Amino acid sequence: MMAITFRTWVRAELETVWAVVLDSVENPQRYMSDVEAIRVLERHQGGITKELKIRGMESAPGCFDFFVFERGTLKEIKSTENDNVCASGVFDSFVFESSITREVTVRGVPYRERIRISNKERKIHRELIDHPTCSGKLIVKAVPSSVQNPMAPVDLQFFLELESMKGAKEEKEEMTAEIKKEQQRLKEKAEELEASAVRREGRSLN
């Protein structure tokens, strides 16, 4: 599985950046050039997802009991199917307020994504459900560089984990390139909105 991080500084207020990120959930065609159609299939209330990471493994299977010690540091895993295993790992959770499942059509090929949204953390999880050539997830997060200064740049982070089926290396590379372009379009849109707001404010003062 390929894991890669894209980061870019956005010269806009945090609320502006986050509004654009949310807009990309409902209107991905504005930020993804290859999107031909979009349809929201389901909307749900919030919840919590949990994932177990162990020594470089992406996640552990769900058929186990576990114990967590020392503020979330995992010290022992007891499998319900195998022998006991001792390992060092992290038990991670993500609390979200809402989620949607959408169908996106790219170059004539439809696939679904499950998207979980946390307004509190300014973070979304996008999970590929039935993509024909790739599996994985994308985490998008908007992080302010300064809490005291609302005009300080925002760190727009994309964390991508992607695995392609055998013989689909080219498709994975294309998807990675498109996600990087999407991030750039988000940045440009947020900065454009911020500049427009500043101009309007300047005219009102005059």
Question: What is the per-residue pLDDT across 22-46, written as a single tens digit (0 to 9) for each?
Answer: 999 999 999 998 899 999 999 999 8
Give pLDDT tens digits for 152-177.
999 999 999 988 877 667 878 888 89
The letter for the amino acid at 139 is I
pTM: 0.78
User: How far is Cα 194 from Cα 202, in angstroms, rounded to an integer?
Assistant: 12
User: How far is Cα 30 from Cα 17, in angstroms, rounded to an integer?
Assistant: 15
Q: Which residues make Cβ contacts (< 8 Å) with residue 40, sequence separation at least 6?
A: 26, 100, 101, 102
Both tokens assigned to 119: 């307004």
User: How far is Cα 102 from Cα 25, in angstroms, rounded to an integer?
Assistant: 9
